[in-house]
Amino acid sequence: MPTRPLRACRQPGCPALVAHGACPQHGGTGLPERPWARPSASSAFRLRGARWRALRLTVLASEVQCYLCGAWAHDDDIVDHVVPLAAGGTDDRDNLRRCCRTCHARKTAHEAARARTTATR
Query: Does residue 24 contact residue 9 with C-beta atoms inside 8 Å?
Result: no
Most confident of the ranges 38-47, 79-88, 92-101: 92-101
pLDDT digits (tens, 9 = 90+) for 66-76: 999 999 998 88
Sorted by where each begins, the domain ranges of the chain are 1-38, 48-119
Q: Considering only residues 10 and 111, tell me which one the structure prediction assigns the higher pLDDT.
A: 111
Contact partners, residue 74, CB within 8 Å, separation at least 6:
100, 101
**CATH classification number, 48-119, choose in 3.40.1800, 3.40.50, 1.10.10, 1.20.58:** 3.40.1800
Q: Pick from 57, 107, 70, 59: which is nearest to 87 by CA?
A: 107
Q: Pick from 89, 93, 94, 67: which is nearest to 78 by CA?
A: 67
pTM of the model: 0.59
**CA distance linking residue 74 with residue 99, whole number of Å:** 10
